[in-house]
Amino acid sequence: MEAAKKLLELNKVSVGFPHRGGMRPVTENVSFSLHDGEILGIVGESGSGKSVSMLAVMGLLSGNGKVMDGSIRFYNKEQPEEYTELNKLLKGELRQICGNEISMIFQEPMTSLNPVMTIGAQVEEMLTLHSTLPREKHKEEVLSMLSEVGLSEVEKLYDKYPHQLSGGMRQRVMIAMAMILRPKLLIADEPTTALDVTIQAKILKLLKKLQTEYGTSIVLISHDLGVIRSICSRTVVMCEGRIVEQGKVEDIFERPQEEYTKRLLAAALGKGEIIEKREIDYQLAPVVKAENYSVFYAEKPKNAQQLGSTLAERLKSIFAGKIRREVVRGVSFEVYPGEIVGIVGESGCGKSTLIKGLAGLNPLTEGMLTMEAKHPQMVFQDPYGSLNPSKTIGWLLTEPLRLHSIGTKEEQRQQVLEMLKKVGLSEEYYDRYPSTLSGGQRQRIAIAMAIMLKQKLILLDEPVSALDVTVQEQILILLLSLRKEYDLSYIFISHDMNVIHRICDRVMVMYHGEIVESGKTEEIFERPQHEYTRKLLKARL
Amino acid sequence: MVNDMSFLKKSKKQNKSDNTKNWQLRLGIVLVSVVTLLVVVGLFWTPYEPTAMSAALKNKPPSLTHPLGTDYMGRDVLSRVMDGAGTTFFIGVATVLIGLVLGTLLGAFTGYYGGIVDELLMRLNDTLTSMPSILLALVFVSIIGTGKYNIIIALGVIFIPSFARVVRSEYLVQKEMDYVRNAKLLGAGNLRIMFVHILPNTKSILLSTITIGLNNAILAEAGMSYLSLGVQPPDASLGRMLSEAQGYLLSSPWMALAPGMMIVLTVLGFSLISENLKN
């Protein structure tokens, strides 16, 4: 790799966006280069400028974003000794290069495909626009590319629409689109973040394969250090618009020089070290006991068979306009006082549905459920949606007390201020609005809201999944200290096995609406019994 | 760092006409303030008595003593515009208020609860909106009679559907948000969720609907009075003045020009505001 020539070079690039009349820089003096045929990782937390830098390469900056300073040089196909300065090109010229030589895949496979075009037509469009291949060969080429990226039954797939595909399949289609012109450079912006772990690993393997087969250089943008380590040869660490450190992956991961990199690594690759263990008394009466508990969804029937088998059932469903679909199928479990029970499983396995049932947000349930807490509280995944944007933090935290008429106005205020301190925020947050808070701070408020009513059971639905790794760490520690202080029990949903390992006492693995395995955390991690659990653990990077 | 991201998102929404939007909004605010100032002053003081007639001053073009001229009865046009705009504004605001309050209530309930009541009310809504609003108002007025207050009721009822529709669609979105679930878990009742938790989050969309509504109400009043179904003489209103000026359009155009310009400026001002307020 030493002798390989540079394919792309960023030299002191600063990207800015207009702000209050002037330009505000988002990245400053970003310099790195990419060699022919290598996979370079760019890692950093949200807002670190990693995506913006690569969007600048493609000329895809949104709004009035501009490359303010520096140069972006890309190798020139016709004159191998020369470089093209991408940031000086006209739009049309840049587009020519972008289609043929550079392509990009995005995080969200749900929205980056056009929903009204068939898969075949979308992939083929790339050929129509950029390729000199004769028309009649297009379909053949598309089909071979689709099977190249690991999709099966490509003939059928050709005429399907994006909504008929799973997330992983869509991402494969995106990759097929990006690779069909055999670009020299592929920019992958968080390509696996929206996917389940077992699919993540497969997509990464595919990228690696394409790199070795076609010699395509890849820039992989990710916040996930595990992803970076699994396939990149070199990596660039970014923070607040600057490059903190760059070098070979082994060096960065084993001998990080900068403080920030060390912190990032410690938070992300703690290999799921247990933060704190606590003895649980399993002789006590459980706080939750579910027996043969099922949760249903009401949905519009898709075909006649779903209406039911007997005439009476059919008539009932027709009049209701909806049928019940069993999402959680007869699960049984207990949660003991002070215990943290983790639920893992892929998206759609019914884990969120289960706790929505427990919380009482979904009334369509069957089976036995005994619960000590009258109003079990919940913390949601997205801290941007779970706090009412038009209320102040103080109002939000007082609301549970107001609703249950606890204390006088002054007492309520005192309680709220105390709670703010407990979750690690100062009193000045009382009068602020959620929009002025960061994701981590919002999640602290959401947790505070859940604890205000002093209920013993808190349901946590992916509470740290939307947060950066360093913030995740803080929230997990906060959850543990609050458990001790208020004697809480948690049901903790996560798709991240590392997080589960770090704080849960027991784990339940859900698959297709059933609990396929459950037990003490160490036991599950050391001796997984079920096939699916093994797969989950193996996919851990 | 997080600030950086929100900032990026914002700049995505703003497009290149960001600066244009800014001056458009300013112009709109200036126009509306000037018109409002005229109206407010007109409540307490007008250069002449708006209804004072004088045979000697019939159809005089604008001069220093009568800046906007006089009408066919020798009344001062400026005084009448100030007074008439006041009436028109009052009708506009009252109409929008009726539409706003009832429409919001209706939209909130149907959007939040959904179901069969929602279906029925929304189809009724469709029926109302499928007819031209001025025609519908004519029907109302012919039943309950003409006059300032009857016009307000007639127009107010017609304005309910547009507010109900906007509020309902906003509630449909908001009720699925996690903060609503959270409020439910905390034990908040449906009414409290609807009006304390969700309602404040509809204010931005309501604000632009209100400005559009004011525009439509002012135009509708002018139209009704022009057809002499609205404000009755000797009261002045912009529409009424236009209707009276019709016969003198060629000989004394200032009579039509003054109320006409007043309507144009007001509507333009509100349109500019509502168009640019959305972001």
Query: What tens digit of pLDDT does each residue of A424-434 get?
Result: 999 999 999 99
pLDDT digits (tens, 9 = 90+) for A405-417: 988 999 999 999 9
Q: Residue B111 in 3-state DSSP?
A: helix
Average pLDDT of span A498-503: 87
Which pLDDT value is given to residue A95? 80
Could A46 and B2 be called an inter-chain contact, meaning their C-beta atoms sit closer than 8 Å?
A: yes
**A359 close to B (CB below 8 A):** yes
What's the CATH number where B183 sits? 1.10.3720.10
Write out chain B residues lying below 8 Å of A52, CB-based: 8
Tokens representing residue B143 in the block: 């039943």
- Within 10 Å of residue A467's Cβ, how many Cβ atoms? 23
Q: What total number of domains does chain B contain?
A: 1
* Fold topology of A1-101+184-266: Rossmann fold (3.40.50)
pLDDT higher than threshold 50 for residue A174: yes
Which pLDDT value is given to residue B15? 45
pLDDT higher than threshold 60 for residue B4: no
The answer to the question of residue B123 being in a domain is yes
The percent of residues above 70 in pLDDT, for chain B, comes to 92
pLDDT higher than threshold 70 for residue A304: no
pLDDT higher than threshold 60 for residue B212: yes
CA distance B79 to chain A (A): 43
Which pLDDT value is given to residue B279? 54
pLDDT higher than threshold 60 for residue A515: yes
The most confident of the ranges A51-60, A253-262, B189-198 is B189-198
Average pLDDT of span B67-91: 84
pLDDT higher than threshold 90 for residue A316: no
pLDDT higher than threshold 90 for residue B47: no
Backbone angles phi, psi at A534, to 5 degrees: -60, -40
The answer to the question of residue B50 being in a domain is no
Of A48, A64, A361, the CB nearest to B16: A64
The answer to the question of residue B3 being in a domain is no
Nearest to B117 by CA among B125, A287, B46, A276: B125
Q: Is 0.85 exceeded by the ipTM? A: no
**A4 close to B (CB below 8 A):** no
Lowest mean pLDDT: which of A37-41, A210-214, A243-247, B137-141? B137-141
**Mean pLDDT across chain A, nearest whole number?**
85
Backbone angles phi, psi at A208, to 5 degrees: -60, -45
pLDDT higher than threshold 90 for residue B126: no
Average pLDDT of span A317-332: 80
* Preferred mutation among B18, B175, B185 to probe A, highest tally of A CBs within 10 A: B185
CA distance B11 to chain A (A): 5
CA distance B191 to chain A (A): 12
The percent of residues above 90 in pLDDT, for chain B, comes to 18
pLDDT higher than threshold 90 for residue A44: no
Which pLDDT value is given to residue B200? 92
Of A49, A375, A446, the CB nearest to B187: A375
pLDDT digits (tens, 9 = 90+) for A111-144: 788 888 899 898 888 888 887 888 888 888 899 8
Q: Which CATH architecture has domain A270-290+334-376+455-541?
A: 3-Layer(aba) Sandwich (3.40)
Scanning every residue of chain B, which has its alpha carbon at the shortest distance from the alpha carbon of A373? B185
Which residues are within 8 A (CB) of A316 and not within 5 positions of it... i.e. 6 or more apart? A308
Which pLDDT value is given to residue B30? 92
pLDDT digits (tens, 9 = 90+) for A176-211: 888 888 888 999 988 887 777 778 888 888 889 888
Write out chain A residues lying below 8 Å of B11, CB-based: 17-19, 62-65
The answer to the question of residue B44 being in a domain is no
Of A17, A446, A449, the CB nearest to B8: A17
**A352 close to B (CB below 8 A):** no
pLDDT higher than threshold 90 for residue B199: yes
pLDDT higher than threshold 60 for residue B102: yes
Average pLDDT of span B134-148: 83
Which pLDDT value is given to residue A2? 44
pLDDT higher than threshold 60 for residue A32: yes
Tokens representing residue A242 in the block: 């600057």
User: Dihedral angle at the C-alpha atoms of B213, B219, B220, B222, nearest 10 degrees?
Assistant: 140
**A408 close to B (CB below 8 A):** no
Scanning every residue of chain B, which has its alpha carbon at the shortest distance from the alpha carbon of A380? B178
Scanning every residue of chain B, which has its alpha carbon at the shortest distance from the alpha carbon of A382? B178
Which pLDDT value is given to residue B5? 39
Segment 227-266 of chain A within 8 Å of chain B by CB: 240-241
pLDDT band at A1 (very low <50, low <70, confident <90, very high): very low
CA distance B245 to chain A (A): 48
Of A18, A63, A435, the CB nearest to B12: A63
Average pLDDT of span A232-257: 89
Any idea which residue has 């007997």 for tokens?
Answer: A310
Nearest to A126 by CA among A167, A79, A60, A177: A177
Q: What is the CA radius of gyration of chain B?
A: 23
pLDDT higher than threshold 90 for residue B171: yes
Between A283 and A194, the higher pLDDT residue: A283
The answer to the question of residue B16 being in a domain is no
Average pLDDT of span A240-252: 88
Could A382 and B179 be called an inter-chain contact, meaning their C-beta atoms sit closer than 8 Å?
A: no
Which pLDDT value is given to residue A341? 94
Could B178 and A49 be called an inter-chain contact, meaning their C-beta atoms sit closer than 8 Å?
A: no
pLDDT higher than threshold 80 for residue B237: yes
Q: What is the DSSP string of B38-94?
A: HHHHHHH--SS-TT---GGGTTPPP-SSSTT-B-TTS-BHHHHHHHHHHHHHHHHHH
Could B179 and A386 be called an inter-chain contact, meaning their C-beta atoms sit closer than 8 Å?
A: yes
For B158, the domain range is 88-279
Write out chain B residues lying below 8 Å of A241, CB-based: 4
pLDDT band at B11 (very low <50, low <70, confident <90, very high): very low
**B176 close to A (CB below 8 A):** no
Per DSSP bridges, beta strands A217-222 and A185-189 are parallel
Write out chain A residues lying below 8 Å of B6, CB-based: 435
Write out chain B residues lying below 8 Å of A48, CB-based: 1
Q: Where are the alpha helices (DSSP H) in A360-438?
A: 393-403, 409-422
Which pLDDT value is given to residue A4? 63
Could B200 and A449 be called an inter-chain contact, meaning their C-beta atoms sit closer than 8 Å?
A: no
The answer to the question of residue B107 being in a domain is yes
A235's enclosing H/E stretch is: strand A234-239
Which pLDDT value is given to residue A306? 65
pLDDT higher than threshold 90 for residue B96: yes
**B279 close to A (CB below 8 A):** no
Write out chain A residues lying below 8 Å of B203, CB-based: 390
pLDDT band at A266 (very low <50, low <70, confident <90, very high): confident
